[in-house]
Amino acid sequence: MVFSFFKKQDKKMPERPAARPRAPDLLPEAKVPVAPAEDQAKPLPEPLPDLEFSPGKPTRPQPAPAACKPQGKLAAAPQQAPVADSDFSIDDFDSDDFTESSVMGIDVNQDDDPLQACVEQVVVLYANGQDGAARSLLETFVRSYRGREGRRFWLLLFDLLQATGERAAFEKLGADYAEACEMSPPTWSKESPDARQAAGSVGPRKIFLQGVLTAEGALPVSELAKLIEQKAQITVDCTKLIGCDDEVAGQLADLLSRARKTRLSVVLSGTDVFIDRLNSRMVAGDTAHEASWRLLLELLQRHGTQDAFEERAVDYAVTFELSPPSWEPRVAAVAPAVSAATARPADDAYYLSGELKGCRFDELVAVIEGVEQPIIDFSGVCRLDFVSAGQLVNRLAPYKAAGRDIVIRSPNHLVAELMAVVGLNKQARILVPKS
């Protein structure tokens, strides 16, 4: 019995009173009231695990933690004060079309918010391309969460179905939403995000070309191609363009030639320095850079004299043994007509579109530094991956620290919530369309 007694004491040694630090020892000058004995005996709640965000893992351990189970509440979770209405308000922004996004009020470091944990899990799955898993969770959450909190999941599910083109499911969800929330549901958009983007603003879109463009980092050139395909008005700022490789030079030459021949309104600004650099590199007889030769001739056609153009055209013919392009008299570009119903005031917004994966956003330096109020428009973006979201935070953080006000406009709810997960809502104002 003696051995048994000492063995039990050995296991409980960390609980002996002598090992418990006393409040007066920690704070010698403070008088700490002693809690009743029954309160001292209550075990402390275990701390919740820290959030970990990485592009390859969910934000909560799998299977889903108890915090993400909408059927019940955490038994050990402390009581929270109700979330302020302004945190998720959709009516407090002074615009008829946009509202300060609910993500502006979210602090993703609050580990004891089970609803936020569920949102994070959904948007990270979607960002990683796991649409089926994200949809399955959302369909569970819209049935389990009610009221204002539940509406957040409905909007995420509507955007997911729109992005994946599932109209029948979208319409059925609208009927369920109207019955459950007693509100009119969002409507299916018949136009693609790019088409809505083209119809939603007046005035030229601005593309910034800067630095040395290569095939791996030529997102602005891809944006230029999309806008030319949409027959949009475009201004291309080349003020900070240093150079480009032959692949990008060929793409630019083809795009500018197509726009010129179809009389689309593509205006190049700040090209003088770049033309001089390009002109000095092109040596008659050197056949190594045919694409760059074509770009030079296209730029001279637009911004050079006829004598300068014809001199270099002859050099091109001698070098490649081809008939040179002919000088074409400049004609006025044609701007596409925009109906008064869709007209809005022009702005200097920079438009992004498509699925943004592995983007570094180098071009945003020129965008932000080139205007007084930088606006980055996400209306054409259907998906933002986790890596790109982190890169965007890194790109905007120095400007926020310097006091610049940057606006991210019109992301869908899936993209906006991911922005909150990575902390982008602390670096820019995020405005979403009113639902």
Predicted structure pTM score: 0.52
370-400: b (≥16 Cβ within 10 Å) or e: beeebbbbbbbbbbbbbbbbbbbbebbeebe
382 phi, psi to nearest 5 deg: -95, -25
Give the domain ranges of the chain.
87-181, 203-320
SS3 402: coil
Q: What angle do CA 394, 396, 402 make, to 5 degrees?
A: 115
Q: Give which of 335, 351, 396 is closest to 369, Cα–Cα.
A: 396
Amino acid sitting at position 431: L
State how far the Cα of 99 lies from the Cα of 435, in Å rounded to an integer.
9
Displacement of CA 243 from its chain's centroid (Å): 27
Q: What angle do CA 74, 77, 82 make, to 5 degrees?
A: 100
E strand segments, 194-233: 205-213
| H/E run at residue 175 | helix 167-181
State how far the Cα of 135 lies from the Cα of 71, in Å rounded to an integer.
18
Q: Are 356 and 381 in contact (CB under 8 A)?
A: yes
**Helical axes 114-127 vs 413-421, angle rounded to 10°:** 110
Q: Are 100 and 431 in contact (CB under 8 A)?
A: yes
State how far the Cα of 253 lies from the Cα of 213, in Å rounded to an integer.
14
State how far the Cα of 351 lies from the Cα of 205, in Å rounded to an integer.
8
Q: Are 103 and 430 in contact (CB under 8 A)?
A: yes
Q: Give which of 236, 213, 189, 183 is closest to 379, Cα–Cα.
A: 189
Cβ neighbours for 271, distance < 8 A, ≥ 6 positions apart: 238, 241, 299, 302, 303
Q: Which architecture characterizes domain 203-320 according to CATH?
A: 2-Layer Sandwich (3.30)
**What does the longest C-alpha to C-alpha distance in the chain come to?**
111
State how far the Cα of 189 lies from the Cα of 87, in Å rounded to an integer.
28
Q: Give which of 335, 128, 106, 350 is closest to 232, Cα–Cα.
A: 335
SS3 57: strand
Per-residue pLDDT in tens (0 to 9) along the chain, 435 residues: 444 444 444 544 555 555 444 444 443 444 444 545 444 444 544 544 444 444 444 444 344 444 454 443 333 333 333 333 333 333 333 445 555 555 554 444 445 567 888 999 999 999 999 999 999 999 999 888 876 668 889 999 999 999 989 999 999 998 888 888 888 888 887 654 444 444 444 445 778 888 888 888 777 888 889 888 888 888 888 988 899 999 999 999 999 999 988 888 888 888 999 999 999 999 999 998 999 999 999 999 988 888 999 999 999 999 999 888 888 876 545 444 444 333 344 567 888 888 888 888 877 888 888 888 999 999 888 999 999 999 999 999 999 999 999 999 999 999 999 999 999 999 999 999 876
Lookup: tokens for 74: 């955490």
